[in-house]
Structure 1
């Protein structure tokens, strides 16, 4: 696990976009994993800006989103399909149908989850997965207590997650769905490179467990300690509880530039 502590979200977005750009330069048909939430938005802004400047194209790429609410109408602005389209997909040049997400309106939920797993596998798997992290340590919607071997499935949202997400529903927790479909922890672990972004002091406890705590279903993101290539991008506030923060800074300063992240 590589931990990179940067001064602000703009620096985080630039470094993450560099990784996406390097991937697409070497493999234009690469498969991206896209997370919603507040933390990745600056990355999507930077990628869209590079596309607008003519330095980056997604025309041959594919992407899969992490999760989706169950039961929200297809035209609801807070479905994750609509959110990712608004903040990123509609701003670049993905081909029609190149971005897929779980079907939160499926009549047969288990079959829809199995089909989503199959679609990711058929695409060759995810090359670079962008992640955020919840204040309770969830990634995707894998809430505390999730199986570390889990695959795409339906999950009940924790009350804390619904409280955190109420800001997207006019601060009305009752308007936040109680269930979601999410890629499982084992599904996420199959990605070849994971780039996790955490911004702000409210993420510091989860980051502390992610990076320096024991692997535990209590803090689901800790499974990433077993990933072969995971990069954690933090601002100073999110990193302030890390005991080895000075070492992480020193290691990154001394890293050869050609390695990237």
Structure 2
């Protein structure tokens, strides 16, 4: 296991900087697996929300091969989904998580978001599922614009009363999907999505945040150094009592040795 080049704390958030995204993913996967084993040792079932994005590839690969986890006692959710894509679209986040994790580890229960159905009904139904019991863990990233899930700046609401809602995606968020290679053109990216809200994510017991790559450097800088505000929704993570940020030298953007 690679050691971090730098560790630190920014208010509440613990930060670990690695040489590259492979070391980042392996270490984050090991840390999340350890937390999951601890949860399973003290309770019958564990409820986890996962992000779906290329930034999570190495992390999910490591988590999927971790030993000693009874995935049959895990209930899995994902945090957002495009509206309007057909059920068989490879760009759907449910497709990503199925192929990168769920079909590998086979959680006991998986709640996928059927976002080709009526959006309001989806939000009500998924909110009911989330409310059934506390969320133990969230495994997430942040956007190039600092978004959490699809809560884009500056309209993200840190006191949002909703559990899940419909949102219009801002241009930076949609362009990121092209930059990530998920869509060929901006016009192909859906304009709307359903997303869990910021308070829903922040209510989880533990947060594991994986953010590799130079494209995220401005977002990481803002997340750690700007005042907590919806101008960069990821800044709110600094207020969570149990949040760990795993990033790499490219994203951190400072000399990790000095």
- TM value normalised by structure 1: 0.85
User: Distance between the aligned counterparts of 1:190 and 1:175, measured in 2?
Assistant: 33
Instruction: Give the conservation status (yes or no) of the 8 Å contact 2:32–2:208.
Output: no
Unaligned stretches of 5+ residues in structure 1: 248-261
User: Distance between the aligned counterparts of 1:194 and 1:129, measured in 2?
Assistant: 5
1:110 aligns with 2:116: no
Q: How far does residue 75 in structure 1 lie from its aligned partner after superposition?
A: 1.0
From 46, 53, 57, the counterpart of 1:30: 46
User: Distance between the aligned counterparts of 1:226 and 1:21, measured in 2?
Assistant: 23
Residues 241 and 148 of structure 1, relative CA distance in 2, 3 Å threshold: farther
From 164, 171, 182, the counterpart of 1:168: 182
User: Distance between the aligned counterparts of 2:48 and 2:213, measured in 1?
Assistant: 25
Say which structure is richer in strand. 2
Deviations 1:54-111 (A, max 9, x none): 543312111110100001111111111111101111111213xx1213331222x233
Aligned to 1:69: 82
Correspondences of 1:118-137 after superposition (within 5 Å):
118-122=128-132, 124-137=133-146
Aligned to 2:226: 213
Instruction: Give the conservation status (yes or no) of the 8 Å contact 1:102–1:182.
Output: no
Deviations 1:160-197 (A, max 9, x none): 1211212212x221111110000111111111111111
SS of 1:105's partner is coil
1:138 aligns with 2:147: yes
Q: How far does residue 212 in structure 1 lie from its aligned partner after superposition?
A: 1.5
Aligned to 1:256: none
- TM value normalised by structure 2: 0.86
SS of 2:166's partner is strand
Instruction: Give the conservation status (yes or no) of the 8 Å contact 2:48–2:77.
Output: yes
From 147, 151, 155, the counterpart of 2:167: 155
User: Distance between the aligned counterparts of 1:19 and 1:190, measured in 2?
Assistant: 20
User: Distance between the aligned counterparts of 2:215 and 2:190, measured in 1?
Assistant: 23
Structure 1 segments, 4+ long, off by >3 Å, are 54-57
Aligned to 1:259: none
User: Distance between the aligned counterparts of 1:116 and 1:125, measured in 2?
Assistant: 14
SS of 1:196's partner is strand
Q: How far does residue 125 in structure 1 lie from its aligned partner after superposition?
A: 2.2
1:81 aligns with 2:97: no
Unaligned stretches of 5+ residues in structure 2: 1-12
Aligned to 1:258: none
Instruction: Give the conservation status (yes or no) of the 8 Å contact 2:30–2:62.
Output: no
1:5 aligns with 2:17: yes
Instruction: Give the conservation status (yes or no) of the 8 Å contact 2:149–2:196.
Output: yes
User: Distance between the aligned counterparts of 1:225 and 1:21, measured in 2?
Assistant: 22
Correspondences of 1:82-97 after superposition (within 5 Å):
82-95=95-108
SS of 1:168's partner is coil
